[in-house]
Amino acid sequence: MTSADISSGEVLTDEASGAVPTMLRGPATARKGPRRRRRVHSVTSEVVADIQDSDDDDSPRSVGRTTSAVVVEYTLATLTAVNLVVALRMLLDWGGLLSFVVLFLVSFICFHYALVRQSSTKELAADRMTTTLIWVIGALVVASLMWIFGFVALKGVKQLRPGFLVRDMRTAGPNTPGGGVLHSMVGSFEQVGIAAAFAIPVSILTAVYLHELEGRMARAIRFIVEGLAGLPSIVAGLLIFSIWPRYAGIHAAEALAILMIPTVTRTSEEILRTVPDSLREAALALGAPQWRVVTRVVLPTAKSGLLTASILGIARAIGETAPVLLTAFDSKFMNKNPLKEPQSSLPTFAYGNIRTQSVLQNDRAWAAALLLLLFVLVLFTMARWIGARGAKRLGRN
């Protein structure tokens, strides 16, 4: 039973003046007047769970209590915990911010449990505690992500002006303002673009070979791919540099492709695994040769998933620094030709500028970092959006 079911049931009840469907007539709902019941519409799934439980629970959890009492409990627990922590700190003069937070959370959860336990069953108290814990952990993860983003944004926004996006570093120096990151963006796009143009088709074909054809070499290839997935990125850079000891964007692309292929291949294989075998059988039974089964049924069905896999591969490649530094090095000038001469990219730009003593240079590094973060954010959002659309399209399958 979902919350939608319940609320629609309730709406009916209100209109039909009290003809409560038996299914819903738990002790909690049945005993309440219409005014109270009306409240059920607007409350969250937690309360809906309460109603469900109360169907077979002897000591009903009062629905009406939810809003006020729960708020009171949370406030009381918070206040007590804050008091305790502040008192401890004043008395003992001990600990930093982190221990303050941890102590606060632990004491909050304990006080809250005790408070809820006073008025309700053990189960409800444990339930509330678990809910609180999950919220806290989720909030911590989100907070640390927000902190990283906020930190980079704060530091990067100083230099991230429109002009920064359309100039290179030809005229600007460590102490002369102006200058920009255009040459690095061009470099990054060229390097990652070339790498993706090569790595994505290769990866998808490999995944098709591994999962659809299950060729004779499949085991060996899967082993190699899995081994490559653990390859430290610096090794990829060293490898390419030892083969072509000249700096050029194309060599960075080669190193990035080596890093992208295993990730994209493995993800793509997982995606192909989600295409039901019944579709392959249906296609074969219509008289399709296997390559048409792959091109007309499997790949179109997995399209959005494969696109997501590719985008995630690109997002991984765009932030790589070490292999790019070894193969394309860095440059102050615009170099649109990926085939020769050093070429800058966003990560190497950030690296080169953060290593100096100049405040201005450091700000530029942070601006490049922020830009990089924004690109990755956009890529991930795209991946999520495309993935969600694909899932919707697959529908009930």
- Contact set with another protein (CB under 8 A): 213, 215, 276, 278-279, 281-293, 296-297, 300-301, 303, 393-397
Nearer residue to another protein within complex by CB, 231 or 286: 286
Between 228 and 279, whose beta carbon lies closer to another protein? 279
Q: How far apart, in whole angstroms, are the C-alpha atoms of residue 343 and residue 250?
A: 9
The pair of structure tokens assigned to 88 is 């401890």
Q: What angle (nearest 5°) sits at the alpha carbon of residue 205, between those of residues 200 and 210? A: 125
Query: Which CB atom, from 189 or from 209, has the smaller least distance to another protein?
Result: 209
Rounded to the nearest whole angstrom, what is the least distance from the CB of residue 306 to another protein in the complex?
A: 12
Q: How far is the CB of 222 from another protein (least distance, A)?
A: 17
Angle between the N-to-C axes of helices 249-273 and 303-318, in degrees from 0 to 180, rounded to the nearest 10: 150
Cβ nearer to another protein, comparing 265 with 301: 301
CA dist 394 and 397 (Å) reads 6
Task: Name which of 155 and 222 has its Cβ closer to another protein.
Answer: 222
- Least gap, CB of 236 to another protein (angstroms): 31
> Closest approach of Cβ 9 to another protein, in Å?
25
Q: Judged by CB, which is closer to another protein: 177, or 215? A: 215
Contact status, residue 107 vs residue 77, Cβ threshold 8 Å: no
Q: What is the DSSP string of 26-71?
A: -HHHHHS-HHHHHHGGGS-HHHHHHHHHHTT-SSPPPTTHHHHHHH
Least distance to another protein, CB of residue 392, Å: 10
In 3D space, the residue among 226, 239, 197, 203 whose CA is nearest the CA of residue 323 turns out to be 239
- Could you tell me the smallest distance in angstroms from the CB atom of residue 151 to another protein? 43
Which residues are within 8 A (CB) of 250 and not within 5 positions of it... i.e. 6 or more apart? Answer: 194, 338, 339
Residue type present at position 20: V
* 127 vs 76: CA distance, rounded Å: 18
Provide the minimum distance between the beta carbon of 205 and another protein in the complex, in angstroms, as a whole number: 12
- Using DSSP's 3-state secondary structure scheme, residue 309 falls into helix
Give the shortest CB-397-to-another protein separation in angstroms.
Answer: 5
User: Closer to another protein at the Cβ: 264 or 297?
Assistant: 297
In whole angstroms, the minimum distance from the beta carbon of 220 to another protein comes to 16
Residue found by looking up tokens 């050029």 in the block: 248
Of the chain, the end-to-end C-alpha distance in Å amounts to: 22
Which of 35, 396 has the CB closer to another protein?
396
Tell me whether residue 65 or residue 303 sits nearer to another protein (CB atom). 303
Q: Which amino acid is at 82?
A: V
Asked if residue 235 lies in contact with residue 327, where contact means CB atoms within 8 angstroms, the answer is no
Q: How many CA atoms lie within 13 A of 311 on its CB side?
A: 19
